[in-house]
Amino acid sequence: MKPHAFQINRRRFVKTAAAITAATGVPGWFLELEEAHAAESRPAGPNDRPGIALVGCGGQGRGDCGGASQFADVLAVCDVDQSHAESAARQFTRDGRVPKIYNDFRKLMERDDIHAIINGTPDHWHTFVNMLAARTGKDIYTEKPLTLTIDEGKRLVKTVRDNKRIVQVGSQQRSDRNFRLACELTRNGRIGTLKHMIVGLPTGLVEGPFPELPVPAGLNWDYYVGQAPMVPYKGVNCHGNFRWWYGFSGGQMTDWGAHHNDIAQWGNGTERSGPVSIDGKSLTALIPGGYETAANYRIDCKYANGVTMTILDEHTVSDQNVVGGGKTTPNGVQFIGTDGWIFVARGNIQASSEELLRKPLPEGAVRLYQSNHHMGNFFESMRSRKDPICDVEIGHRSITVAHLGVISMRMNKPVQWNPDTEQFVGTHAREANQWLARDQRKPYDYSFIA
């Protein structure tokens, strides 16, 4: 490289860094570290393109696969809705090569030329697809939330580790500089001793009741419902709206909660553990025959290190001072310590004092796993066989927090949790432990992927 080439790139970097700092609040010293890390990353070779398959061809799945197609060749797509599968096949046709369409993911798992699965299915199908992929020697990029139940997570972690597979959970905020900066500063005591965390999630929906509708041509509704109790097709309980029904998901608690609870755990240093007490309340009555998951809610948690956490929807009043001095909670994560606070959201980081962000961390400070591209990090891990930034256990522990909140809300009782044994303890333990797993409708139980 010519001497002046770096200078030109350096000037460009300084201008870019200044623009990023102005727009997001990310300090220049942190961007310098990112630049150094990017220079050390090993790029893929021109022939280093594994074969991949997309399972679950809705909008999120196709979006994920679009990112993955930068690094790999899409050989197959699978969906129980024929129109979704056909749309995906058209989207990922390259140079006349059309991905093969499947309507049963078990069939495509038999192919040796497919090295990784992109899992964009609804939440209640994540575990079955991921477990079979691991057993058949495939690496996995899976949408969050990782599981439908805590028991599924324990089973999946074991299956992935036993088969030595790479799993990247789609908690892409971990690959965002704002969130890593907030967690690094918190972990290094920049706000003093961490005392409390406020997690703001979107408010859910209160709508209904909904009539039964004819099942659209090309949709295998029995297969879509899968392990959940059979329910009539209503349109609003399929595809993008599945998350508002407890048979398929857990509402905003397991949707956005999978993202923000993950960041809270990262900043608290409990990403492979969890809280010890949870008190969840649904605050708004839902309409019979309508959406089932909580719309307004409050979850109070406590960790063994004494840190507390409150999870609120954006319309619920907080009893703590939140960002901007208001009482309602913006979508994001706020870390509150003895010496100040830091709030982080997508595209935004703020602090009680600008100095908390501007002052560089000293040498020897705790540095967290750095990824600047979530999908790229997955393919790097496929090559290196080292865990990605959001591995299977981290994804399991993060969604466990959300599952605990949902269980407490649905029981309408506070519960105590042992994160080491992953069992409820104390008062209400016997009742609560019955919620760790769900009955699975045959034939869509674990024998379906045996």
Instruction: Tell me the C-alpha to C-alpha distance, in Å, between residue 199 and each of 256, 331, 368.
Output: 10, 7, 21
Closest CA to 203 of 298, 278, 289: 298
Q: What is the DSSP string of 314-325?
A: TTSBPSS--GGG
What pLDDT is attached to residue 25? 73
Place of tokens 């192919």: 111
What pLDDT is attached to residue 8? 38
pLDDT digits (tens, 9 = 90+) for 235-270: 999 999 999 999 999 999 999 999 999 999 999 999
Long-range contact pairs involving 410-414 (C-beta distance under 8 Å, separation at least 24): 410/246, 410/435, 411/435, 412/281, 412/282, 414/277, 414/278, 414/279
What pLDDT is attached to residue 115? 98
pLDDT digits (tens, 9 = 90+) for 270-304: 999 999 999 999 999 999 999 999 999 999 999 99
Residues 6 or more apart in contact with residue 41 via CB below 8 angstroms = 380
Instruction: Tell me the C-alpha to C-alpha distance, in Å, between residue 177 and each of 26, 135, 373, 422.
Output: 8, 34, 10, 31
The percent of residues above 70 in pLDDT, for the chain, comes to 91
pTM of the predicted model as reported, rounded to 2 decimal places? 0.91
Confidence of residue 2 (pLDDT cuts 50, 70, 90): very low
Q: CA 126, CA 61: separation in Å to the nearest integer?
A: 12
Mean pLDDT value of segment 228-239: 98
Confidence of residue 41 (pLDDT cuts 50, 70, 90): very low
Q: CA 243, CA 239: separation in Å to the nearest integer?
A: 9
Long-range contact pairs involving 327-332 (C-beta distance under 8 Å, separation at least 24): 329/198, 329/199, 329/200, 330/200, 331/200, 331/201, 331/202, 331/256, 331/260, 332/200, 332/260
Q: How many helices (H) and strands (E) does the chain have?
A: 14, 15
What pLDDT is attached to residue 320? 77
Sequence letter at residue 86: E
pLDDT digits (tens, 9 = 90+) for 364-378: 999 999 999 999 999
What pLDDT is attached to residue 306? 98
Mean pLDDT value of segment 136-142: 98
What pLDDT is attached to residue 48? 82
pLDDT digits (tens, 9 = 90+) for 183-210: 999 999 999 999 999 999 999 999 999 9
Q: CA 83, CA 78: separation in Å to the nearest integer?
A: 11
Q: CA 389, CA 175: separation in Å to the nearest integer?
A: 8
Confidence of residue 9 (pLDDT cuts 50, 70, 90): low
Q: Strand, helix or coil at 342?
A: strand
**Beta carbons within 10 angstroms of residue 398's beta carbon:** 31
Q: Is the distance from CB of 294 to CB of 260 less than 8 angstroms?
A: no
**Beta carbons within 10 angstroms of residue 346's beta carbon:** 13
Confidence of residue 317 (pLDDT cuts 50, 70, 90): confident
Sequence letter at residue 281: K
326-330, 338-342, 401-405, 432-436: which range is least confident on average? 326-330
Q: Is the distance from CB of 50 to CB of 380 less than 8 angstroms?
A: no
- Terminal C-alpha separation, the chain: 55
Closest CA to 12 of 35, 42, 41: 35
What pLDDT is attached to residue 437? 98
Confidence of residue 36 (pLDDT cuts 50, 70, 90): low
Q: What is the DSSP string of 376-401?
A: HHHHHHHHH----TT-HHHHHHHHHH
DSSP code for 141: E
Instruction: Tell me the C-alpha to C-alpha distance, in Å, between residue 110 and each of 74, 76, 102, 120, 283.
Output: 16, 12, 12, 19, 47
What pLDDT is attached to residue 23? 64
Q: Is the distance from CB of 283 to CB of 423 less than 8 angstroms?
A: no
pLDDT digits (tens, 9 = 90+) for 320-360: 767 867 778 899 999 999 999 999 999 999 999 999 999 99
pLDDT digits (tens, 9 = 90+) for 71-87: 999 999 999 999 999 99
What pLDDT is attached to residue 81? 98
What pLDDT is attached to residue 35? 67
What pLDDT is attached to residue 224? 98
Higher pLDDT, 385 or 10: 385
